[in-house]
């Protein structure tokens, strides 16, 4: 497998940071697009990643970040603007000749969702699909790390109280998501155009 120059957005977050580590271990050259300089971005520099700074809503900064990039991981923070950011990223990726993108979506993404976030993720998927890029959409469920937010409740017993009905749920850790992202970006062609929910991620060759 030939190494590639890969752009990782959200490189200081749970999935992006794990993807950077795994991709570098696989021998890829990494450019990390961070939002601001802090200890987490400094850690990426010390690890050997090229760290650049910018906002996914700034088209010129996104274009600059994607220049010379072969493949990319796109993840947008929990804030308004995902459809605009996706359109700008897709256009810049096409201009740069990027040959594969992994898009972080969510399992609940659908056009008729009552959740604005889920509907916006569905629209962002469509933008990537219309772009003609080689895109793989991953659709994780609730992140395992988020259970830490409920630690005080869990310490009081074995019941989690929330606005949900009964059902089964399989949270996935950011580290495992990073391995999946790295696996797809290392060999993207078998996953071209796929929508991959977390329950079938075991089919992705996560380990080198």
CATH number at residue 51: 3.40.50.720
Is the confidence at residue 17, as pLDDT, over 90? Answer: yes
Q: What average pLDDT score do residues 73-82 get?
A: 94
**Banded pLDDT at 208 (limits 50, 70, 90):** very low
- In-domain check, residue 110: yes
Euclidean distance between CA atoms 195 and 137, whole angstroms: 5
Rounded to whole angstroms, how far apart are CA atoms 100 and 187? 9
167-178 pLDDT, tens digit per residue, is 666 777 778 888
Q: Is residue 33 part of a domain?
A: yes
Q: Which residue has the higher pLDDT, 99 or 14?
A: 99
Split at pLDDT 50, 70, 90, the class of 52 is very high
Per-residue pLDDT at 164: 61
Per-residue pLDDT at 11 exceeds 90: yes
Candidates 96, 33, 87; CA nearest to 63 is 96
Look at phi and psi of residue 193 and say left if phi exceeds 0, alpha if psi is from -120 to 50, else beta. Answer: left
% of residues, the chain, pLDDT over 70: 81
206 pLDDT more than 60: no
pTM: 0.85
What does the CA dihedral 6, 12, 18, 22 come to, rounded to 10 degrees?
40
> Is residue 30 one of the residues assigned to a domain?
yes
pLDDT band at 140 (very low <50, low <70, confident <90, very high): confident
What is the percent of the chain where pLDDT is above 90?
61
> Could you report the per-residue pLDDT of 148-164, keeping only the tens digit for each?
666 676 677 766 666 56
What's the whole-number mean pLDDT along residues 85-103? Answer: 98
Domain count, the chain: 1
- Please state, in angstroms and rounded to a whole number, the distance separating the CA atoms of residues 119 and 112: 7
- At 31, phi and psi to the nearest 5? -110, 125
Helices (H), the chain: 14-25, 39-47, 59-66, 82-96, 116-131, 151-155, 174-186
Q: What pLDDT does residue 93 have?
A: 98
Q: How far apart are CA 208 and CA 195, in angstroms?
A: 22
Residue 168 lies in a domain: no
Tens-place pLDDT, residues 22-33: 999 999 999 999
Q: Assess if residue 169 is contained within a domain.
A: no
Check pLDDT > 80 for residue 104: yes
**Angle formed by the axes of helices 14-25 and 174-186, to 10°?**
50
Tell me the average pLDDT of the chain: 87
- C-alpha distances out from residue 24 to 32, 65, 67, 98, 163, Å: 11, 18, 19, 19, 40
Whether 49 maps to a domain, the answer reads yes
95 sits in the region (left: phi over 0; alpha: psi -120 to 50; else beta) called alpha
- Which pLDDT value is given to residue 167? 65
Q: What is the pLDDT of residue 146?
A: 63
Whole-number pLDDT of residue 205: 53
Give the full edge-to-edge strand order of the sheet including 5-9: 50-53, 29-34, 5-9, 71-74, 100-104, 135-139, 195-197
Domain containing residue 64: 5-143+174-202
Residue 42's pLDDT is 94
How far apart are the C-alpha atoms of 8 and 59, rounded to whole Å?
A: 16
Would you say residue 150 lies in a domain?
no
């Amino acid at each position: 497998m030939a190494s590639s120059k890969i752009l990782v957005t959200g490189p200081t977050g749970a999935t992006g940071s794990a993807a950077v580590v795994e991709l570098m271990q696989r021998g890829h050259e990494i450019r990390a697009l961070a939002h601001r300089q802090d200890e987490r971005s400094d850690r990426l520099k010390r690890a050997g990643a090229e760290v650049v700074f910018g906002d996914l809503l700034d088209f010129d900064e996104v274009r600059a970040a994607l220049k010379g990039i072969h493949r990319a991981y796109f993840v947008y923070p929990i804030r308004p603007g995902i459809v605009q950011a996706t359109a700008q990223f897709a256009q810049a990726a096409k201009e740069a000749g990027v040959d594969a993108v992994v898009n972080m979506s969510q399992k609940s993404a659908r056009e008729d969702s009552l959740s604005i976030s889920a509907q916006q993720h569905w629209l962002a998927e469509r933008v990537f699909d219309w772009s003609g890029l080689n895109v793989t959409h991953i659709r994780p469920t609730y992140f395992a790390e988020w259970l830490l937010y409920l630690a005080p409740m869990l310490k009081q017993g074995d019941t989690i109280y929330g606005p949900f009905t009964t059902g089964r749920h399989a949270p996935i850790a950011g580290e495992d998501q990073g391995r999946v992202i790295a696996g797809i970006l290392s060999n993207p062609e078998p996953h071209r155009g796929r929508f991959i929910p977390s329950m079938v991620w075991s089919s992705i060759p996560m380990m080198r």
